[in-house]
Each structure stands twice: as C-alpha cells, then as structure tokens.
Amino acid sequence: MEKSNFLSSTKATKTFCIILCISDNLDHFDAQIASLAQYGDNVFLVISIDCAKEASKSLAKKIVGCHFMDSDVIFIEGPRQGFLANFMFTSRYALSLKAFDFYAFCDQDDVWKDTKLSRVENLLTANSALPELYCSATNLVDENDTYLGVHKDKPIETFSMALVENISPGNAMVFNKAALQLFANTTEYDILYHDWWIFLLTIELGKVFFDPMPQVNY
C-alpha cells in the first residue's frame, strides 16, 4: 500500500503501530499474528520482510492476510543488513506515516497477552514531548508452548545499571512517538541492539515504566 492511500484510509481509532521485522524462520508466525489480531481496530502493522526466500515472503503475507484486512497492514522490503538495520529502517518508515499514539517492536516468534496494550494505555502519554517507554516481564516457553519460567522480572531503575544489562527484550516494549523519534534519529553504527538502545535513551531522557506481570510469551 502506498503511504498516501494509507493516510487517507486509516481509521482514526488506530492507536498502536506494531513494527514487525521478519526473516525466513516462520515456524511460530501464525500464533504470533493471531495474538496481534485480537486487538482488532486498535492496531496497524508495518511489516518489514527481510527474507532471503521468496517462499517465506509469500507465506508471511498469506498468514497475515488470514488475520488482518489489507487496510490494516503495510509490507515493506527490509534492507537485508541484519536485525538492527531492519528495525531502524522499519521504525523510520513507521514514523513517516504520522498517524499513531504508540509504537511497539515485535519479533516473529512472540505471542502477546490480550492485556498488554490496555496496560500500556494506562501508563504512557501519547502526545508527550517527553519520551516514555513501557516494558514488561516475559514468559519463556519452548516450541510446544510449555512454560519454562519468567525472564527479566525485575526493573532496572537507573541509567548506570542499564549500561551493563538489557532490561527487556524488544518484544516486551511499547513507547510513545517521542521515544521512537529519539531512536530513529540515531546512526546505526553507534549502537549494537535496537531494544537496549531505546531503553537507554528513554531512561536517561524520559520515563520508563516496568510491568512485573508478563505480557509476552517468548
């Protein structure tokens, strides 16, 4: 879909833009997309297809089409330069659409709880000039969806602590536009991990909210 068509057709009720970057391993992709679809008209997907195989691209679009209307999704071609470049590229594209209150990173193998986004709306400020970020604990599961334990269940409250440990995987993060703008204005060569970097930026320059209740199965 072209940007101009998107801007004229997107429903005003859409609050969240999901920044989803995928590659060739789509074993758990259907469950993940289904977990995003439960939010209905509240979400829009920007999906960067960074796959090497044409079959993977076709399968990804087929799975998404089973759960989302065409008007709720934009597919773009990834830069094929690794996960960091892919998330930077897709984040900048999402920002160029200028239509959302909140943004979230998403991998291709995580399943979101149905309470995740409602908890975010109770904490983050959409139009604040101050960068704000939500992150939660994560349930670890195996390939059979068997619970293995909780990951990252304690908050890191200071910038100095965050320098030595990544508080949260990207798939547990949601942030406002001010936080995403900080991240997107960074040169890729300056950082190693997209999720760790946006956390560092936000805890130093804005507010971070940690949710001890797991909102993602990973």
Digit-by-digit pLDDT tens for the chain (218 residues) are: 445 444 444 444 569 999 999 877 778 889 999 999 999 889 999 999 877 778 878 888 999 999 999 999 999 988 878 888 889 999 999 999 977 999 999 987 889 999 999 999 889 988 889 999 999 999 999 888 888 999 877 767 677 777 777 778 888 999 999 999 999 988 766 778 888 889 999 989 999 999 999 999 98
Instruction: State the pLDDT at residue 8.
Output: 41
Burial class (CB in 10 A: 0-12, 13-18, 19+), 21: buried
Instruction: State the pLDDT at residue 5.
Output: 46
Which helix (H) or strand (E) segment holds residue 178: the answer is helix 177-184
Instruction: State the pLDDT at residue 10.
Output: 45
Instruction: State the pLDDT at residue 177.
Output: 94
